[in-house]
Amino acid sequence: MNIKHSILILLLALLAGPTHATNPKHEFRGAWLHIIGQGQYARMTSEETQKYLVNQLDLLQKSGCNAVLWQVRPQADAAYVSELEPWSRWITGEAGKAPNPLWDPLQFMIEESHKRGMELHAWINPYRVTSGKDDKPAAGHVYYEHPEWFLDYADGKIYFDPGLPESRNFIDKVVRDILARYDVDAIHMDDYFYPYPVQDAEFPDTASYNRYGLGWDLGDWRRHNVDLLIEQLHNTIAEVKPWVRFGISPFGIWRNKKNDPDGSETNGLQCYDRLYADCPKWTAEGWVDYMVPQLYWELEHKAAGTLELAYWWDRHANGRHMYYGQAIYNVMSHRDIAADGGDTLNPTQLAHKFRLMRELPHVQGPCWWPGYNITDNHKGILDSLTANYQSTPALIPAYSWLDDKAPAAVENLKVSKLKGGDKQLTWNAASTTDPMQEAVRFVVYRFKKGQNIDLNNAAAIQTITGGTTFDIPKQKGKWIWVVTALDRCWNESAPVSIK
């Protein structure tokens, strides 16, 4: 992008976007960082990879993002230390090969995200084992121990058979292992359940259907299999770490209205019928804590308009959080539309989609695909988010059905003088034996002396941090500093202030 074009987009964003005062204090702002298909990690040393990931997180934090959805299991492998599945080839370039020197990307991303006050969602793909016909599972993979659990599909890939209890139990074992050993904030899955269909090719699950179908309609049975997995993982998370959320990012169309009166006015692939994912059921049953439908199309798309789908998914939140997956290349490549359907002067749909998300009553924010497009400032997206749409830090809305009790206020808030005349805020978290009430993040606010202390003013937030210190920038005037604590479900404590 040339400089003139970048400046034009930034100026238009400033004109069309919200001001600091109108950005909400509570909003989910996620970014997916996938490793499948990303060759840069295999070309880097361990040290280079860590520096690269730190830079990614720094830029995402600068853009206002507060959650990273980091892919740790793209194809029944592991981007972390695991005794259950082999190292991912997308980390080292060779399936089953550990990084040298050894390090743990998942643990690293958790620590670095939490340091910045951001969440880390461990993103897994449940059934996929290989990425194509030339791909084979690494030596020692469970595929070789239990070949009867797996199926070869016409797309050239190997999958766990979703109809087998053994498949569900193994996937559950992997999730249980992650929960037991890592301080993740959520377990996340995207749209890959039963595979996307290949024309004129049936998924080869006849044997498991004959064994377990018990007279079910084939489609209903397949949906039941996915339901069983979702419910089982929900129960495991609630048992092991009840504060960890479970989120799913389905394909953007559940069903078309022509096939179901409760469907959307769309005309595309239906995840209910082709991927066997009955997503609204999972929120209605309380099995998932958030849904991120992939609304990757332009607002006015004829077959799958985001404008239509945004309202449809908002009506089907079922009391759980609803975040909208936004494809950056689409948002930044389509001119905005006016109320009458015509074009506007705005060269992107960014302002319109933010306005839509913030007006819908059950939508709590965006999730950006892919996060790499933010960090490389694709068509000025980093500039626009930083200057306007995510210019003030935001707290993720509380998961009140998991926990609605606020943690205790911080203790021993002080202003200390450092060498060179600099100043620093320090505080302590209140001690507790209840992990649900543990303070894991802190919010630092700044107000001018005499100014009304309004904690709902997002522009007053200076940082959200996982630490217990804040370096006070050099500034003129007299200020009041306020610090609050956040527990694992984003409940906020009473404020403590100091001049």
**Beta carbons of 313 and 301 less than 8 angstroms apart:** no
Is residue 7 scored above 60 in pLDDT?
A: no
Closest to 63 measured CA to CA, from 118, 121, 12: 118
For residue 235, the surrounding DSSP H or E stretch is helix 218-240
Spatial distance between the Cα atoms of 436 and 434, rounded to a whole number of angstroms: 5
Give residue-wise pLDDT tens across range 87-133. 999 999 999 999 999 999 999 999 999 999 999 999 999 999 999 99
- 339 pLDDT band, cuts 50/70/90, is confident
Spatial distance between the Cα atoms of 269 and 254, rounded to a whole number of angstroms: 8
Residue 454 CA from chain centroid, whole number: 29
**Beta carbons of 95 and 138 less than 8 angstroms apart:** yes
Largest CA distance in the chain: 78
Query: What pLDDT does 207 receive?
Result: 97
Give residue-wise pLDDT tens across range 430-458. 999 999 999 999 999 999 988 899 999 99
Look up residue 485 and give its two tokens: 């604590």
**Beta carbons of 333 and 311 less than 8 angstroms apart:** no
Give residue-wise pLDDT tens across range 373-422. 999 999 999 999 999 999 999 999 999 999 999 999 999 999 998 877 78
* Close Cβ partners of 359 (under 8 Å, ≥ 6 residues apart): none
Helix axes 165-181, 218-240, angle to 10 degrees: 20
Is residue 469 scored above 80 in pLDDT?
A: yes
Spatial distance between the Cα atoms of 488 and 436, rounded to a whole number of angstroms: 6
- Mapped onto helix, strand or coil, the DSSP state of residue 103 is coil
Is residue 347 scored above 90 in pLDDT?
A: yes
Is residue 46 scored above 80 in pLDDT?
A: yes
Spatial distance between the Cα atoms of 469 and 224, rounded to a whole number of angstroms: 49
Higher pLDDT, 126 or 1: 126
Query: What pLDDT does 338 receive?
Result: 84
List, in order of start, the domains of the chain with CATH numbers. 3-389 (3.20.20.80), 411-498 (2.60.40.10)
Strands 423-428 and 469-472: antiparallel
**Beta carbons of 64 and 354 less than 8 angstroms apart:** no
- 341 pLDDT band, cuts 50/70/90, is low
**Beta carbons of 170 and 142 less than 8 angstroms apart:** yes
Look up residue 59 and give its two tokens: 């830029």
- 474 pLDDT band, cuts 50/70/90, is confident
